[in-house]
Amino acid sequence: MNIKDAKNEIIHTLAAYLKKDGNGVYTYPLVRQRPILLIGPPGIGKTAVMEQVAAECKVGLVAYTITHHTRQSAVGLPKIVTRNYGGTETDITEYTMSEIIASVYEYMEQTGKKEGILFIDEINCVSETLAPAMLQFLQNKTFGTHKVPQGWIIVAAGNPPAYNKSVREFDIVTLDRVRKISIQADTDIWLEYAGEKGIHGAILSYLSLKKENFYMVENTVDGKFFVTARGWEDLSEILKSYEELQVEIGEELIGEFLQKEEIARDFAGYYRLYEKYKSDYQIQEILDGNVTSRQLKTCCDMGKKASFEERFTVTEMLLEAVTERISSFQKTDEKTEKLYRNLKLLKFFLQEKNSVEAMEQFIVSRRKALDAKICSELLTAEEAAREEEQIRILEEYFFQLKELHISDVAEGIEQIGERFGNVCRLRNEKLEETKKMLEQAFSFLEECFGEGQELLLFETGLTGDDRCSIFISQYGCPSYFKHCELLLYSKKENELRKECRDLLED
């Protein structure tokens, strides 16, 4: 199973295990709620998936790497208590609450989330003293004498023995009480995720060409050699940062993230070509319409003589640039829409006030609401940043009114409306620029490569990216729809040709 399917399986499990009847009682029998056990190679994204599931399902997440724990922290510390048995007082040993279980209760108290996922990573790499406690945890959903709270499902993860010498095999009794999901690396699934996350274009392009280099782990007599999804994602961040700082990027740096010399060397060479093609073909200048007809002809002539790999890379660079511009517009569009809603609320709030000074109360209440959501972990870091941006815009508007010595509510609302009008104009200008850029990309591809596989690759990339497909469906793109028809015709023609060949062979 790939990581995307595993994620969907966990989401479905949450829905099933946490389903309630009309009285708010869980309907799935607790004794049948098997923990999910994810087994897959390291660096494949198991932990990241848990964060995504918790955010999408709006439930809590408490995560632990169990190898960092001793038996005492996992199970609890012993203590002597007195009990009365048959009229006789007897001292016996009990255990304090497990640190892990206690963390779940603390999380519930801090965030108000009563349902969630308790995620235990590297569960099959525990020490010998902790192994029995882990088996009890998977079989009975308890640490020591303390149960995992109702409404919390257990997901555990580990690596196969081939990747880790510390792995302990689970017996049949334990495996018969869990839902084991084996996960494999899948380049196409990761590329889909990577596109949404804004992974560096050189990495996306390289792995689209050389999918076999996406993931590998070797444990030989000469040492350990590996390339993982985590490595590519971390490499993407350092590439972006170094480019922004104009720091030279060499094979040594890449080798720190891709610890397989042949792949690191191969990507380093591809990265140099990627940057050179971006400059030679003047991608950004062409898309912005800032090249002369002679410069455009030079680029087109160069493309017509290019190798398959070069043509593929140039198409991928065009797709990356267009996707980034569309994503940037959508952020502006969302910001504008959100500001519009906030200003409507502000207008309603000020209508019953005597002065625009009351706007300060509105801003304070919004900030308190944001702080509460952050404290309760109801927002992702990105969502919190967007909320903070909105509050700062409102603060800026308020200070501008004070600078203009405006206290009348009607006049203040009018002034804010004018400023919002400027925001809308900038948003509309960005929309037109984005639409023009998209048409420019099609025009360049058509002139450079004709109606060949490059157009098919570009169309497929736009269609497969949610951001691009939503933008095109909302605002249109004549070239996209024109070439869609051509591609459908070409597909139908190929199908007919195949049928003819099949008939002739018969």
Provide the CATH number for the domain around residue 104: 3.40.50.300
Q: Is 269 inside a domain boundary?
A: no
**Residue at which a domain ends, from 155, 184, 213:** 184
For the chain, 506 residues long, give each residue's pLDDT as a single digit of tens. Answer: 888 888 899 999 999 999 988 888 889 888 888 888 888 877 777 888 888 888 888 888 888 876 655 555 555 556 676 777 777 777 665 555 567 788 888 888 888 888 999 888 877 776 666 677 777 777 778 876 778 888 898 888 887 766 666 666 777 877 788 888 888 888 888 888 888 788 898 999 899 888 889 988 877 777 788 898 889 999 999 999 999 998 989 889 999 999 899 999 999 999 998 888 888 888 888 888 888 888 888 888 888 888 888 888 888 888 888 998 999 999 999 999 999 999 999 999 998 888 989 999 999 999 998 888 887 777 778 888 999 999 999 999 999 999 999 999 999 999 999 999 999 999 999 999 999 999 999 988 888 887 778 888 888 888 888 888 899 999 988 888 887 765 554 454 455 445 555 554 55
Mapped onto helix, strand or coil, the DSSP state of residue 177 is coil
Give the per-residue pLDDT at 418.
93
- Residue 68 has a pLDDT of 59
Q: How far is CA 344 from CA 195, 398, 407, in A?
A: 35, 15, 19
| Cα distance between residue 430 and residue 441, in whole Å | 16
Domain membership of residue 329 (yes or no) is no
Helices within 146-292 (DSSP H only): 172-175, 187-197, 201-209, 229-245, 251-255, 261-280, 283-287
Q: How far apart are the C-alpha atoms of 35 and 401, rounded to whole Å?
A: 58
- The reported pTM is 0.73
CB 317 within 8 A of CB 277: yes
In this structure, is residue 359 part of a structural domain? Answer: yes
In a domain, 261, yes or no: no
Contact 388, 370 (CB under 8 A): yes
Residue 311 falls inside a structural domain: no
pLDDT computed for residue 445 by the predictor: 87
Residues 431 and 429: their CA atoms lie apart, in Å, by 5
Within 13 Å and on the Cβ side, how many CA atoms surround 325? 25
96, part of any domain: yes
The whole-number pLDDT of residue 486 equals 57
410: containing domain = 341-432
What's residue 493's pLDDT? Answer: 45
Angle at 471 between CA 465 and CA 476, to 5 degrees: 120
Based on the number of CB atoms within 10 Å of its own CB, is 70 exposed (0-12), middle (13-18) or buried (19 or more)? exposed
Q: Using an 8 Å Cβ cutoff, are 312 and 205 in contact?
A: yes
Q: Which helix (H) or strand (E) holds 470?
A: helix 466-475
| CB-CB contact of 227 with 187 (8 Å) | no
Last residue of a domain, one of 164, 184, 204: 184
Q: Give the span between the Cα atoms of 273 and 267, in whole angstroms.
A: 10
∠ Cα 25 29 35 (to 5°): 115
Residue 176 belongs to some domain of the structure? yes
- Give residues with Cβ within 8 angstroms of 162, minimum separation 6: 217, 219
Domain count, the chain: 2
Q: How far is CA 454 from CA 56, 277, 284, 293, 425, in A?
A: 35, 16, 18, 22, 35
Task: Give the pLDDT of residue 504.
Answer: 47
pLDDT at 96: 57
- For residue 174, what pLDDT is reported? 74
Residue 233 burial by CB count (10 A; 0-12/13-18/19+): exposed, middle or buried? buried
Which segments within 329-404 are labelled E, that is strand?
none
> Would 331 be classed as within a structural domain?
no
Domain final position from 161, 184, 207: 184
Burial 329-349 (b: 16+ CB within 10 A, else e): bbebbebbeebeebbeebeee
